Amino acid sequence: MAKQLPQLLKGFRDFLPQEQMARKKIISKISEVFERFGFAPLDTPALEYYELLGGKYGDEGEKLMYKFKDQGGRMVALRYDLTVPLSRVVVNYPELPKPFKRYQIASVWRAENPQKGRYREFMQCDADIVGSDSIVADAEVVTTFAAAFKALEIGEVKVRFNDRRLVDQVLGKLKVSKKQAVGFLRTIDKIDKLGKQKVLELLKDEGFDKKLMEDYESAMDALGKNFVEEFEELLGSFGVANIEFDKYLARGLDYYTGTIFEFVLKDKPEFGSIAGGGRYDNLIQDGKGQSIPAVGCSIGLDRMLAALSEMGVIAPQTAAEVLVMNLDKNLTAEYLNICTNLREANIDCEFYYEPAKLDKQFKFAQAKNIQVAVIYGPNEAKSRKANVKNLVEKKQVTVDLEDLATEIKSMLW
């Protein structure tokens, strides 16, 4: 009987080197933008007391949260997002200067039904401003994420926005109860995926008046005019383009209290939002029970990467750009010296440890997406020259050893 291979848990993934390098590169670019806008890095534990996380994410969140008793009998949970742990940090460290601008890039866990672009462990890239109720803070959060997507060079990204206060005001005017509002908003939030006609059918099946959607749309346009003009003007002043007031946008989490927004890839709208957030002024309360205003946004890194991979935007990655080939065991010391000189010149390189045929070493370089090969054998050693082959353009030149780093840089950069 064959031995059974170890299995990966459903909804979880291994990230092999090429994929992990792509993720690392993207995270680095996002972090650079966040810090340019004045957001400081923060990290929090993967586990929190369930008491902190419970009741913050609605009925769906309760079902999807990984919660259990630890060895001490305490009820704990894996973090569901990065926002609620942030609220604990703000309360635990009241001396933090306000407004407090922080970013965190880390994994969160949800017991979802795994599907394309959705996993049970995934990474979020959050940036939040705590301690300001100014709409300018809302606009700057949107601007920060728009700048991050621009830095990633992933194509055109659209910003859709709304305001939960406006939504609540309209539903109140239309005499929709709070209980009915939950079902209504959950349904109209699907209009992007299902289309308006299908959403109208669902509303009818749920017992809503067939004229409710029409009345809702008219009231949103009329009552939202001033808000839309102000927010669009602020975003325009920040240089943000491709923005749209989306009267159907509701966002799923229960803690949003004001402006809400989502980012979608124009060429891949079927992937849904790749980032989203909004204002949550009632989530964080100080030691006296007073609410602290806050606004933030989060990139769903894994969903975005799935879309970019399908679009062919992510280029193959490699840890080393140069392979120093091994043609003669007697030249090992010289090979190692070449590697050291290249690394000191800030060129990423590696050495093929055992002498082998060139064809085998070229296949190794190709498998790792290495761009340049250094070919140095007994004949080259006599003349103190090396052959440098650009594996992408299939061109080869011969240079003096002292010019090797300069030649390789010209090929790479």
The reported pLDDT for the residue numbered 308 is 77
- DSSP single-letter state for residue 258: S
174 vs 58, higher pLDDT: 174
> Does the domain spanning 322-412 belong to CATH 3.40.50.800?
yes
Among 103-107, 287-291, 328-332, name the one with the lowest average pLDDT.
Answer: 287-291
Fold agreement (17-311, 322-412): no
What CATH code would you report for 17-311? 3.30.930.10
128 assigned ligand-binding residue:
yes
Decide: 66 and 109 in contact? Cβ < 8 Å.
yes
How many CA atoms, within 13 angstroms, populate the side-chain half-sphere of residue 275? Answer: 24
The 10s digit of each residue's pLDDT in 188-234 is 888 877 888 898 888 888 888 888 989 999 999 999 999 999 999 99
Decide: 201 and 140 in contact? Cβ < 8 Å.
no
Q: What strand order describes the sheet that includes 121-130?
A: 40-41, 100-109, 121-130, 294-300, 273-279, 259-265, 157-163, 243-245
The 10s digit of each residue's pLDDT in 32-46 is 999 999 999 999 999
Q: Tell me the whole-structure pTM to 2 decimals.
A: 0.85
82 assigned ligand-binding residue:
yes
The 10s digit of each residue's pLDDT in 129-144 is 999 999 999 999 999 9
124 assigned ligand-binding residue:
yes
| CA distances for 206 relative to 170, 199, 213, angstroms | 20, 10, 13
- Checking if the pLDDT of 313 tops 90, the result is no
Confidence of residue 252 (pLDDT cuts 50, 70, 90): low
186 assigned ligand-binding residue:
no
81 assigned ligand-binding residue:
yes
Average model confidence (pLDDT) for the chain?
91
The residue ranges of DSSP E strands in 303-342, in sequence order, are 322-324
Supply the angle between the helices 135-152 and 225-237 in degrees, to the nearest 10: 50
- Checking if the pLDDT of 3 tops 90, the result is no
Ordered by start, the domain boundaries in the chain are 17-311, 322-412
353 assigned ligand-binding residue:
no
- DSSP single-letter state for residue 238: T
Phi, psi (5° rounding) for residue 64?
-90, -10
- DSSP single-letter state for residue 90: H
251 assigned ligand-binding residue:
yes
Contacts by 219-224 with C-beta closer than 8 Å and gap 24+? Answer: 219/170, 219/173, 219/174, 220/166, 220/167, 220/170, 220/247, 221/247, 223/166, 223/169, 223/170, 223/173, 224/163, 224/166
